[in-house]
Amino acid sequence: MLRILHVTPFYPPFKGGISNLVHNLCKELYKFDLDIHIITTRNIKSNEKYKERTLDKVTEIKSIYMLGWPYSTLKNFSFPADLGIKLNSIIKQGSFDVVHVHGHHYPICWLALGSAHKYKVPTVLSLHGTYALNPLKLGGKSWLEDLFNALVFKNILSKSNVVIGGTNQIIEHAKKYSKSRNVFKIIPNGVDINRFKNNLFRKKEYREKFGIPEDKIALLFVGRFDESKGALNFAKAAKLLLEQYANKFEIVMVGEGKLRSEIKSLVKGLNSINIYEWQPPEIIHEIYIASDVYVLPSNFEGLPLTILEAMAANLYIVYSNVGGVQEILQSYPRKMLLNNTTPEVISQTCISLYSESKYLNEDRFKNHSKFDWKNIAREINSVYLETQQLRNI
């Protein structure tokens, strides 16, 4: 039995892409008879006790979180309060066969790779995006992150044996900074395909449940209510649409974040907009299936889970060209690229869909299997078996 340590800056109950990925991946990896341990961060100011854990061996490292300045995205950036002493001790004494680190932008990940390298434990680094700092710029690129890549990212890669990226675009970005003999693998994010596939026929039922009229086009946004995800621009676009075409569109927004109050105030008085908090996995597929069009107006992404969920629900997808989104949608027939993420462009693009009825006339996507968690976990397990052999070289 291989002993695997996952190190992640985010894990449930935290909501977000990396958190969901690690949680769902580990659930499937258990089926391969792996001994899995997870290390994640915990805000040193938090007194909350996390009672709902689906995996037993989770260790929380008390961490100090930064203020969201000069970029709001820095609020998720944290430092272990003990500067990595506990993390180092766990890796030193844990007899792990592989240390799997999720994300390259976070100190807990840097420290884990450093300790694993020091104690000669083979490492796997999963990259969940490229640029991720400037939430106001399409692509998220900034001079500060360019400096980070040249100094820190380059060093991180030198301590990683296998580097996993969800798309070729992410891998090519990493190769620019790799000077060592990294092994690169393209393995996408995953989704519970059967949960969607087995319920597609219940669209009418779900529309009734969420109060979505049959004769309207339901536009869906799922994500954090912040600048990086374009939540406010989507809400402004929704307002423009409903002011002109209230009888044609229904708007659904799912998520949480600092912009929630501003968004609710913006759309106050509009009847055809529904704003929901984060929904659990056993419910969220219902909202996707009840909808017609998924809109992703993000300023930066890696390979967002929401795109895979929208594909699994066979929605028409309106998206910004960020991260690996366009690459993953290459073979998906029902899509339209946003030329910009301004409210005006988002609203006009959605209007054009109504005018041309494209969302009704295109083929359904059938190539779901490669994104199923079972297949993703099988590929990751193969990576562990290959990586573990490095101990014997």
pLDDT tens figures, 189-216: 999 999 999 999 999 999 999 999 999 9
Measured CA to CA, the distance from residue 243 to residue 117 in angstroms comes to: 58
Find tokens 């066969």 and name the residue.
97
**Among 298, 301, 299, 220, CA closest to 254:** 220
pLDDT of residue 1: 86
* 56 C-beta neighbours (distance < 10 Å), count: 8
pLDDT of residue 208: 96
Tell me which residues of the chain have a pLDDT lower than 50. none
Nearby residues of 122 by Cβ (< 8 Å), 6 or more positions away: 97, 98, 99, 116, 161, 162, 387, 388, 390, 391
Q: Residues of CATH 3.40.50.2000 domain(s) within the chain?
A: 3-190+372-392, 193-369
Q: Please state which CATH number belongs to domain 193-369.
A: 3.40.50.2000
pLDDT of residue 358: 54
pLDDT of residue 286: 98
**Fold classification of 3-190+372-392 (topology level):** Rossmann fold (3.40.50)
pLDDT of residue 294: 97
pLDDT of residue 231: 96
Question: Which backbone phi and psi does 122 adopt, to 5 degrees?
Answer: -55, 145
